[in-house]
Amino acid sequence: MPNAKVLEEKKALVASLVEKIKKSPAGVLVDYKGITVEDDTKLRRDMRAAGVEYAVIKNTMIRFACNELGFEALDEHLNGTTALAISMTDDVVAPAKILGEFAKKHENFKIKAGFLEGKVIGEAEVQKLANMPNKETLIAQVLYSFNYPIMQLAIACDAIVKKAEGNEDMKVADLVAVAAAAEEAPAAE
* pLDDT tens, residue order, the chain (189 aa): 568 888 888 889 999 999 998 888 999 999 988 888 999 999 999 999 999 999 999 999 999 999 898 888 888 999 889 999 999 888 888 899 999 999 988 888 899 999 988 898 999 998 888 888 777 788 888 888 888 888 888 888 877 777 767 665 656 666 677 667 766 655 444
Helices (H), the chain: 4-23, 37-49, 59-69, 94-105, 123-131, 135-164, 172-188
SS3 of residue 30 by DSSP: strand
Q: Name the β-bridge partners of 113.
A: 29, 122
Q: Are strands 119-122 and 110-116 parallel, antiparallel or unpaired?
A: antiparallel
Give me the amino acid identity at 168: E
Give me the amino acid identity at 28: V
Which CATH architecture fits 4-132? 2-Layer Sandwich (3.30)
SS3 of residue 169 by DSSP: coil
State the DSSP code for 75.
Answer: G
d(CA 179, CA 153): 9
SS3 of residue 73 by DSSP: helix
